[in-house]
Amino acid sequence: MAGGRPCCLSFVLACTSVLLLGVFIQDVEASSCQRVIHKKVGDTVELPSCLPTEGVTVPQWKYGGILIADKDKHIHENQFKDRLELNSMNFSLTVKQLTLKDSGNYSFLSEENDTQRTTVIISLQVHEPITKQPTVNYNSTWHTSNESCTVFLECRAASDSGVDYKWTVRNQTRSGSRLQYIISAQDGDTDFTCTIYNLVTEMSVSKTVTCSNHTQDFLTFGTILILSVVGGGCLIMVIIVIVVCVCYCKQRQSAGSDANELTVYADISEVAINDEPTSKPCSVYETIDNRGTPHPVTPGPQTVYDKIQLSRVRKASVSPYQEIS
């Protein structure tokens, strides 16, 4: 009896060790199984059962508490129509052509020898891939005291759903979509790199910033622009004044020439009327006419042509015919 007790005790210890080893191996397998999976839209994923397959009966997969597949490979949800496959060997579930709606918890339920086993929950996260580069906007403030600039940068993604931001500058990394950084004029060109990322994709864009006194540069440019405008305006005014003066002088010369001509003709056509016979004629035609008159003539119409006709002496006609005038 004394010798049988140690043998029985050894047997019990051996059986216990085997059971503990089996439980340990099962726990290791379960713990090594990936319970959280990240995929992008359009990918294919295989969801593991994470449990031994021997003696398993009634394997089922549920999505959000709704049965979607069983051992007969029946699909019970239209959302996954023609996109699910159940592996009959290891009971893993394959989902094809993933969409954002496929994100959520998938539960594997099974029985072993008509005994319910632990439910395995796999969390699937489907992410939209990043396809466009982010945009970077910035502005800087100049500090005269130490000749430095405070740079403010903002990074924006085309879609902010599930996207994180980080900045990289001079081997330094900072998180967030906004960044405030100080650079000096001696640093020269400084590259700021913004990276947007999620758990499946990432994309970056860089912006080069130089610290300088933008205010002075703007004033210099403004001064040059103002001087150019003022100089051009003065030149235009000078040209206008010159053109006006030339036109005025030409108009004056034309007006003076017409006045002289009118004065000459007025002097020639002027006839002085005077009852006194001793008065001197005041026009050229009067002087010529008075010289050829031997006797005083009664003043007639005071026109040049009338005087000439009155001074003519008509001779008597010797013709026997009547003269027709």
pLDDT at 72: 75
240 and 208 in one domain?
no
Domain assignment present for residue 17? The answer is: no
Q: Mean per-residue pLDDT for 63-75?
A: 82
- Sheet bearing 45-47, strands edge to edge: 45-47, 93-95, 84-86
SS3 248: helix
pLDDT at 317: 53
Q: Which of 212, 232, 253 is the last residue of a domain?
A: 212
Find tokens 């150019």 and name the residue.
228
Q: How many residues does the chain have?
A: 325
pLDDT at 323: 52
Domain assignment present for residue 15? The answer is: no
Q: Which of 189, 212, 235 is the last residue of a domain?
A: 212
88 and 152 in one domain?
no
pLDDT at 300: 53
102 and 177 in one domain?
no
Indicate the DSSP class of residue 314: P
Maximum Cα interatomic distance, the chain, rounded to a whole number of Å: 211
DSSP string, 266-294: HHHH-----S-TTSPP-SHHHHHHHHT-S
SS3 237: helix
Closest CA to 36 of 122, 120, 104: 122
Domain assignment present for residue 24? The answer is: no
71 and 52 in one domain?
yes
In the Cβ-directed half-sphere of 69, how many Cα atoms lie within 13 Å?
A: 23
In the Cβ-directed half-sphere of 154, how many Cα atoms lie within 13 Å?
A: 4
Q: Which of 127, 143, 170 is the last residue of a domain?
A: 127
> What domain count does the chain have?
4
Domain assignment present for residue 120? The answer is: yes
| The pLDDT of residue 18 is above 50 | no
pLDDT at 70: 87
Would you say 184 and 208 are in contact if contact means Cβ atoms under 8 Å apart? no
Please name the residues in contact with 312: beta carbons below 8 A apart, sequence gap of 6 or more.
none
**Where on the phi/psi map is residue 64: left (φ > 0), alpha (ψ -120 to 50), or beta?**
left
Domain assignment present for residue 56? The answer is: yes
143 and 197 in one domain?
yes
Q: Mean per-residue pLDDT for 250-263?
A: 60
pLDDT tens-place string over residues 113-158: 888 899 999 999 999 899 899 999 999 999 998 999 999 999 999 8
199 and 140 in one domain?
yes
Would you say 192 and 153 are in contact if contact means Cβ atoms under 8 Å apart? yes
pLDDT tens-place string over residues 163-186: 899 999 998 999 999 999 999 988
Q: Mean per-residue pLDDT for 273-298?
A: 48
What are the structure tokens assigned to 167, written together? Answer: 């900045």
CA distance 75 to 69: 5
193 and 177 in one domain?
yes
Domain assignment present for residue 277? The answer is: yes
Q: Give the Å distances, CA to CA, from 263 to 81, 98, 270, 283.
A: 116, 110, 11, 14
| The pLDDT of residue 320 is above 60 | no
Q: What is the reported pTM?
A: 0.50
pLDDT tens-place string over residues 210-255: 998 864 444 445 555 666 766 777 788 888 888 888 887 777 776 6
* Angle at alpha carbon of residue 280, lines to 275 and 285, rounded to 5°: 100
CA distance 48 to 160: 31
What percent of the chain has pLDDT above 70?
61
What are the structure tokens assigned to 279, written together? Answer: 């008065």
Domain with 200, as residue range(s), is: 135-212
Q: Mean per-residue pLDDT for 69-95?
A: 84
pLDDT band at 301 (very low <50, low <70, confident <90, very high): low
Indicate the DSSP class of residue 320: S
187 and 256 in one domain?
no
151 and 200 in one domain?
yes
For the chain, strand residue ranges (E) read 36-40, 45-47, 56-63, 66-70, 84-86, 93-95, 104-112, 115-116, 120-127, 135-143, 148-156, 164-169, 172-175, 178-184, 189-197, 202-210
What percent of the chain has pLDDT above 90?
37
Domain assignment present for residue 294? The answer is: yes
pLDDT at 48: 95
Domain assignment present for residue 21? The answer is: no
237 and 303 in one domain?
no
120 and 86 in one domain?
yes
Helix (H) or strand (E) holding 186: none
Residue 151: which CATH number? 2.60.40.10
Please name the residues in contact with 208: beta carbons below 8 A apart, sequence gap of 6 or more.
189, 190, 191, 192
149 and 220 in one domain?
no
